[in-house]
Chains A and B, each alone.
Chain A
């Protein structure tokens, strides 16, 4: 998969760290300093306890696939099918079965 062009993403202020974290090889998700829960996508307030004490926290990158789809249609240029998109839950963030999910994509060819 060729992936999206560089101009594709216009991160909002809270989410930019997510995209730049990969530069040092570490995946980061937003974590609440008050209740300790992870929140993704990152936002300006913790959706669980409404604290604004939020900061990026490193996660291992290991996780469990929650579900997936194999896409066969080209919806937008840069994603020639088939593509496989998986929703996964990070091992570290999985405080319960309903913890936040993140996406991953891979070519199936």
Chain B
């Protein structure tokens, strides 16, 4: 196999800002806080940074997200540096936000951040597109039918998964309860009180089959990672995390509701493309940090990445033992977005890095390979990370 391009990359730094509900801080403020911490974590200075990528990136704000505009972040960075050796390259990451924008900045170093997400109440998702009284584009075929939120769109996939494979709410609940249990060890987590299956099943319904605890919890916060060329690995003062492979493919129709299979999403394709780029296999993975914007998405990622067969995600997670920190596949050890907070994908990457460094709050013993997946619907990207250079 030709060495994939991404194997030149290491994650030399990772950090998060303050995380919480209604912090009344701006997305840019939190982003810069996370970035400076990550730069320091990597043992670098701002002047060492060659490029910037943010999510949502350009256009910055949509439906409930208040991320940092990439140019604002780059400008703040330049001012902080006082002097500019070169113009920071700026780009926005989106569907494959953890992966796609890295190659242009190699062999230098860049930082990449996730947005903060507005915790204030209000219409989220495409409902925001209807704020002016009209909806356009493909949303015109969703919103008039009451299909206004990602909760509606994704619940329809979960329902079809239940229909085809017999998946149950209790099985989805195992993902939510496991996340809650793990979150208790994370000082930055939003929900930390213990949750029982009865709590899960009796909480108010949002969009059947999703109740409140199937939906992630909005929060304010930002995550930053520093990506460097592996030649710099000897200079990293803590454990080096190596990118073994990334997956970004989308082989079906890029649509929330016109995908060819209503029991999986684009993660099917990004996961497949990731395994095509590595000699490692699902059996080599010591922990999985998988997007759980809604509980079912984590189950779909587990299936997509081949930790079980298609349609077997329900029995795989049932009871929670297999996905517990001491189970076969420790899942979302930071509490996931369901309890840790909606850091829009980057919380999983941060936790994967901490696990491989051996510094996670809830550390998986002898953790050497981590699978990280982010996204739902047509948006999807995943990474296979290893401890040290392979």
Contacts and interface: CB of A to CB of B under 8 A. Distances in A.
Contacts of A101: 257-258, 262
A72 B156 CA distance: 14
Contacts of B204: 72
Interface in A20-54: 40-41, 47
A29 B160 CA distance: 24
Interface string B136-159: 111011111111110110011101
B134 interface: yes
A71 B206 CA distance: 6
A4 interface: yes
B143 A76 contact: yes
A8 B144 contact: yes
Contacts of B206: 71-73
B258 A67 contact: no
B51 to A, nearest CB: 34
A5 B133 contact: yes
B251 interface: no
Given A7-B134, A9-B135, A69-B208, A75 B123 contact: yes
B260 interface: yes
B95 interface: no
B205 to A, nearest CB: 5
Residue with the greatest number of chain A CB neighbours at <10 A, chosen from B136, B141, B159, B206 = B141
Interface in B182-214: 204-209
Interface size on A, as a range, is: 35 or more
B328 interface: no
B235 interface: no
A105 interface: yes
A15 interface: yes
A15 B258 CA distance: 16
Nearest to B140: A9
B253 interface: yes
A12 B123 contact: no
A67 B152 CA distance: 11
Contact of B141 (A5, A10, A41, A68): A41
A12 B151 contact: no
Contacts of A70: 205, 207-208
Interface in A61-109: 66-73, 75-76, 79, 83, 85, 87, 98, 100-105
B149 A75 contact: yes
B146 A83 contact: yes
27 contacts: A1-B146, A9-B135, A9-B144, A12-B136, A15-B141, A41-B138, A41-B258, A47-B253, A66-B160, A67-B163, A67-B262, A70-B208, A71-B146, A73-B149, A73-B206, A73-B207, A75-B124, A76-B130, A76-B143, A85-B146, A85-B156, A87-B156, A87-B257, A87-B262, A98-B260, A98-B261, A103-B142
Interface of A: 1, 3-5, 7-12, 15, 18, 40-41, 47, 66-73, 75-76, 79, 83, 85, 87, 98, 100-105
The 3 A-B pairs at the shortest CB distance, nearest first, are namely A103-B145, A98-B260, A10-B134
